[in-house]
């Protein structure tokens, strides 16, 4: 520092205060506000602020007087005139208003206005003084005066305000006090911020939220995986039971229908019946196949999967080989039947001829011929009926065997298709599980990243606090001591140092 600078510093109270703080804690951030040569008037709504501004402007032509709102951000006044009405008691929110305007200004003058209209203004002033002092210790020394800037009658009375302002601004060490106050505010704000950052209340809530989200993602993932596997297993088992029951039922109902048909079949329609049986059994197999397709599609949909419901049907329907009814191979039996039939016919013919011989001997020749004819007819009839009945039995047996075969085929088909569907669904489920696992993992990773960032930020903030807070507190204690205020926290820190 040159001699000229040193001299300037000695004479400039602001520089003196800055040097004082720098001496206690070098490198601490100085207040950046711009001190304007302005007196600011503030106060609650309708307290008489505007009236006070206009009167003071007249009475103090060498000073700029304005309302707080007219200052631009970053500008701070030389002095603050706090106007409260004698008509209303001072409230805490009014005090907060003053606090905002006078954060960097130590020169504060309390004014109770409208004293011309309120005779008990002194009581209101005492109350205002007490309320403000209780609001913050710094306001304990604020001088209070009464004024009437716009009285209903007579001339304005603001002499005490003007006198107090002149005293404070010209007589005292207002520049020094204002700078100290500015420092006090700045140091307090910085200390609070550094401490607040390190305590990180907001961050702690967020970290808790993140941890809860993370746990939830992991839990959901585990649950949905096992739940889906269990659901798939049980639905497939159900499908297997239901579908083979369906196949069995279809076959047995077709079998009883066909048996009924066979029982009333005439020999002429045998060939037709054979084709009919083929068609019916083919239709049953197709029906069962369709049932399986539909059922498996339902299962897939229920599980939220999308296998091709026709999967497994791609295998062509099995060729039904139910053979033909063994109607032809009956030579021996026919021979036997012919012999028996002939015997029976002969018996009938002989019996009839005996009867006719007794009844009308003269018609013996015709009787013999007739009896022979009846005997032959009886023989033919017996042989035919016996043949038809036997064929029906054969047909019925054939139908039974054919439906049995078809039942086995249908059941086997159900089994194969369910197995195929199960493996397709399981594969798809595994794929889906994998996709979900990947998604969950990336979500968890993102949460972990954020958690890590928070942890790092908290650690940084704690380090900043450890580095900066003692110095800030020390400087604050010094500034407060200069302002004549006690500072328990700062004093303790200062004692420790």
Ligand X SMILES: Nc1nc2c(ncn2[C@@H]2O[C@H](COP(=O)(O)OP(=O)(O)O)[C@@H](O)[C@H]2O)c(=O)[nH]1
Residues of the shown chain interacting with ligand X in the complex, contacts defined by CB under 6 A: 43, 45-51, 113-114, 116-117, 148-152
From the CB of 117, what's the least distance to ligand X, in Å? Answer: 4
DSSP 114: -
Q: What are phi and psi of 410, to 5 degrees?
A: -65, -40
**Nearer of residues 71 and 297 to ligand X, judged by Cβ:** 71
Contacts with Mg ion by CB under 5 A: the residue count is 1
From the CB of 84, what's the least distance to Mg ion, in Å? Answer: 14
From the CB of 122, what's the least distance to ligand X, in Å? Answer: 15
> Which of Mg ion, ligand X, none sits in contact with 48, Cβ below 5 to 8 A by type?
ligand X
Enter the tokens of residue 204. Answer: 């702690």
Cα distance between residue 277 and residue 285, in whole Å: 12
CA distances from 162 to 61, 63, 65, 110, 264 (A): 11, 11, 12, 12, 132
> Which of ligand X, Mg ion, none sits in contact with 152, Cβ below 5 to 8 A by type?
ligand X
Instruction: Report how far Cα 383 is from the mean position of its chain's Cα atoms.
Output: 85
From the CB of 76, what's the least distance to ligand X, in Å? Answer: 21
From the CB of 488, what's the least distance to ligand X, in Å? Answer: 37
From the CB of 118, what's the least distance to Mg ion, in Å? Answer: 19
**Nearer of residues 82 and 398 to ligand X, judged by Cβ:** 82
What is the gyration radius of the CA atoms in the chain, in angstroms?
Answer: 57
**Nearer of residues 50 and 57 to Mg ion, judged by Cβ:** 50
CA distances from 267 to 122, 326, 384, 423 (A): 134, 14, 10, 50
> Which of ligand X, Mg ion, none sits in contact with 150, Cβ below 5 to 8 A by type?
ligand X
Answer for which of 16, 50, 224, 458 binds Mg ion (CB under 5 A) is 50
Cα distance between residue 78 and residue 38, in whole Å: 6
**Nearer of residues 87 and 210 to ligand X, judged by Cβ:** 87
> Which of Mg ion, ligand X, none sits in contact with 151, Cβ below 5 to 8 A by type?
ligand X
Cα distance between residue 292 and residue 294, in whole Å: 6
> Which of Mg ion, ligand X, none sits in contact with 116, Cβ below 5 to 8 A by type?
ligand X
CA distances from 221 to 105, 214, 426 (A): 60, 11, 17
**Nearer of residues 158 and 472 to Mg ion, judged by Cβ:** 158
**Nearer of residues 83 and 132 to Mg ion, judged by Cβ:** 83
First vs last Cα of the chain: how many Å apart?
28
Cα distance between residue 18 and residue 13, in whole Å: 9
**Nearer of residues 50 and 458 to Mg ion, judged by Cβ:** 50
Three-state DSSP at 238 gives helix
Indicate the residue whose CB is closest to Mg ion.
50
Instruction: Report how far Cα 219 is from the mean position of its chain's Cα atoms.
Output: 14
Binding mask 165-194 for Mg ion (x = CB under 5 A): ------------------------------
Name the residues that contact Mg ion, by CB under 5 A.
Answer: 50
């Amino acid at each position: 520092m040159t001699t000229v600078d040193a001299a300037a510093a000695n004479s400039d109270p602001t520089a003196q205060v800055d040097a004082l703080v720098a001496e206690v804690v070098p490198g601490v951030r100085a207040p950046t506000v711009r001190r304007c040569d302005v007196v600011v008037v503030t106060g609650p709504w309708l307290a008489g602020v505007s009236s006070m501004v206009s009167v003071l402007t007249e009475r103090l032509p060498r000073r700029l007087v304005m309302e707080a709102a007219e200052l631009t951000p970053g500008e701070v006044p030389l002095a603050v005139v706090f106007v409260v009405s004698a008509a209303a008691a001072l409230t805490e929110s009014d005090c907060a208003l003053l606090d905002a305007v006078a954060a960097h200004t130590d020169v504060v003058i309390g004014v109770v206005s409208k004293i011309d209209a309120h005779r008990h203004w002194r009581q209101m002033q005492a109350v205002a003084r007490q309320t403000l002092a209780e609001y913050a210790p710094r306001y304990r020394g604020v001088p209070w005066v009464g004024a009437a800037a716009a009285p209903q009658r007579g001339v304005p009375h603001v002499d005490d305000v003007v006198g107090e302002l002149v005293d404070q601004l010209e007589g005292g060490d207002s520049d020094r006090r204002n700078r100290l106050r500015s420092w006090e505010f700045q140091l307090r704000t910085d200390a609070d911020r550094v401490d607040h950052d390190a305590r990180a209340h907001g961050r702690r809530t967020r970290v808790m939220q993140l941890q809860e989200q993370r746990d939830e993602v992991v839990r959901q993932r585990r649950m949905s995986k096992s739940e889906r596997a269990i659901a798939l297993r049980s639905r497939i088992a159900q499908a297997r039971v239901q579908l083979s029951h369906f196949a069995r039922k279809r076959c047995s109902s077709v079998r009883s229908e066909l048996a009924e048909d066979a029982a009333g079949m005439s020999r002429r329609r045998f060939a037709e019946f054979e084709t009919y049986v083929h068609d019916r059994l083919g239709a049953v197999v197709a029906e069962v196949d369709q049932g399986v397709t539909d059922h498996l599609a339902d299962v897939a949909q229920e599980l939220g999967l999308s296998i091709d419901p026709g999967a497994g049907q791609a295998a062509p329907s099995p060729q039904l080989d139910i053979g033909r009814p063994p109607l032809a191979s009956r030579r021996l039996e026919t021979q036997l039947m012919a012999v028996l039939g002939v015997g029976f016919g002969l018996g009938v013919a002989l019996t009839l001829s005996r009867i006719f011989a007794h009844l009308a001997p003269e018609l013996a020749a015709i009787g013999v011929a007739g009896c022979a004819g009846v005997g032959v007819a009886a023989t033919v009839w017996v042989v035919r009926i016996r043949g038809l009945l036997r064929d029906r039995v054969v047909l019925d047996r054939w139908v039974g065997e054919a439906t049995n075969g078809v039942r086995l085929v249908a059941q086997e088909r159900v089994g194969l298709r369910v197995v195929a569907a199960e493996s397709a669904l399981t594969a798809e489920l595994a794929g889906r599980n994998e996709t979900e696992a990947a998604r969950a993992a990336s979500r968890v990773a993102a949460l972990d990243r954020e958690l890590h960032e928070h942890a790092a930020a908290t650690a940084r903030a704690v380090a900043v606090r450890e580095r900066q807070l003692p110095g800030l507190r020390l400087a604050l204690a010094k500034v407060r001591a200069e302002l004549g205020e006690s500072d328990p926290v700062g004093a303790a820190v200062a004692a420790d140092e």
